[in-house]
Amino acid sequence: MDACLYGTDGFYSTRGSAGRSRGDFITSPEVGPLFGAVIARALEQWWQEAGCPDPWTIYDVGAGPGTLLRSIGVAVAETRPWELKNVDIASGDHDLAELPSALDNCVVLANELLDNMPFRVVERRDDGLYELFVADGERVWRPSPVRLEQLELPVGGQVPLLEQASAWVANTLDRGASRVVVIDYGATTTAELASRGGWLRTYRQHQRGHDPLAEPGRWDITTDIAVDQLPSGSIVTSQADFLRRWGIESLVAEGKDYWMAHAAAPDLKAFRMRSRIAEAEALLDPAGLGSWLICQWMPG
Ligand SMILES: C[S@@+](CC[C@H](N)C(=O)[O-])C[C@H]1O[C@@H](n2cnc3c(N)ncnc32)[C@H](O)[C@@H]1O
């Protein structure tokens, strides 16, 4: 998976970090500026609660083309001493390849990053745990050295092991971030992923692929995440609940009012305000983006 996504001929290396958002898959920031505007409201309160630090840095990791911080930048008051920095390992329009080693007075955001981090695949059998490998393009199941003491997995259950994703969160917390906010699709438990299946998917230009081993490097490979495999202590909400908590509905109402007042001779802003209605529908959709999970760690 690492080679297929980030190797020399990998999906993200050859398409650039913007690849997926140019049409392979629509993420919340790519729906429109409303998502960033709501996050900016949350950031404003977190900044004040932190005692208004100056500077205060917001990193978006796995930023792709940097759309999220662009819309946050538009929504936030110009007087705020905030630094907005994009981080992405793939080439593209971003500031950093990696997070710095000290993250005091920093918030780290990651939208649909963890699902794209290489994972292992294991299956519980009567005689122990087996792990999926690929040899000469074929699937091979071998006894796995992994221990699953913490995770409940019934016999026959197959799940992703999110070691890299979990290590990334732990490492980011170790660097002293004030808050880490991860947004992704998945479930709260690994057992739930095992029972519902279908957690490994491939995409290209809105098309679902079938076999993750087909055309290596030409398809995005993703997994649902399981919160119980990430560091403990996070507050977990659905994206819909989070966006409502931070006022998406009042931003939509403001958009409607502006549109009504300008509908006779609409300017560009009027069209942008009207588009909040459709953006909110997509962002809150209980069968889609609204069901994504938001995990927040607030050390200290
Ligand atoms: C699905 S895209 C999400 C893009 C953007 N966050 C959005 O929501 O539209 C995942 C991005 O994560 C980046 N990525 C994957 N692993 C990473 C890592 N370890 N550090 C930084 N970026 C990473 C990929 O290059 C890709 O641009």
**What CATH number is attached to the domain comprising 210?**
3.40.50.12710
| Sequence-separated (6 or more) residues with CB below 8 Å from residue 122 | 129, 130, 131, 132, 144, 146, 148, 153, 158, 159, 161
Please give the distance, rounded to the nearest whole angstrom, from the Cα atom of residue 212 to the centre of ligand 1: 19
CB 154 within 8 A of CB 121: no
Q: For residue 200, give the H/E element and its range.
A: strand 200-204
Q: What SS3 class is residue 125?
A: strand
Same domain, 169 and 226: yes
Please give the distance, rounded to the nearest whole angstrom, from the Cα atom of residue 116 to the centre of ligand 1: 7
Structural domain ending residue among the three candidates 98, 129, 160? 160
Please give the distance, rounded to the nearest whole angstrom, from the Cα atom of residue 89 to the centre of ligand 1: 7
Same domain, 47 and 150: no
User: Could you give the percent of the chain with pLDDT greater than 90?
Assistant: 76
Is residue 17 predicted with pLDDT exceeding 50? Answer: no
Same domain, 112 and 132: no
Is residue 100 predicted with pLDDT exceeding 50? Answer: yes
Distance of alpha carbon 146 from alpha carbon 46, whole angstroms: 39
CB 197 within 8 A of CB 263: no
Number of domains forming the structure of the chain: 2
Q: What is the pLDDT of residue 25?
A: 61
CA-nearest residue, atom 3 of ligand 1: 112
Q: Range of 151's domain?
A: 120-160
Q: What is the pLDDT of residue 146?
A: 85
For 176: left if phi > 0, alpha if psi spans -120 to 50, otherwise beta; the answer is: left
pTM, 2 dp: 0.94
Same domain, 226 and 193: yes
Same domain, 146 and 208: no
Check if 184 has its Cβ closer than 6 Å to any atom of ligand 1. no
Same domain, 213 and 229: yes
Same domain, 216 and 289: yes
Is residue 15 predicted with pLDDT exceeding 80? Answer: no
Same domain, 64 and 145: no
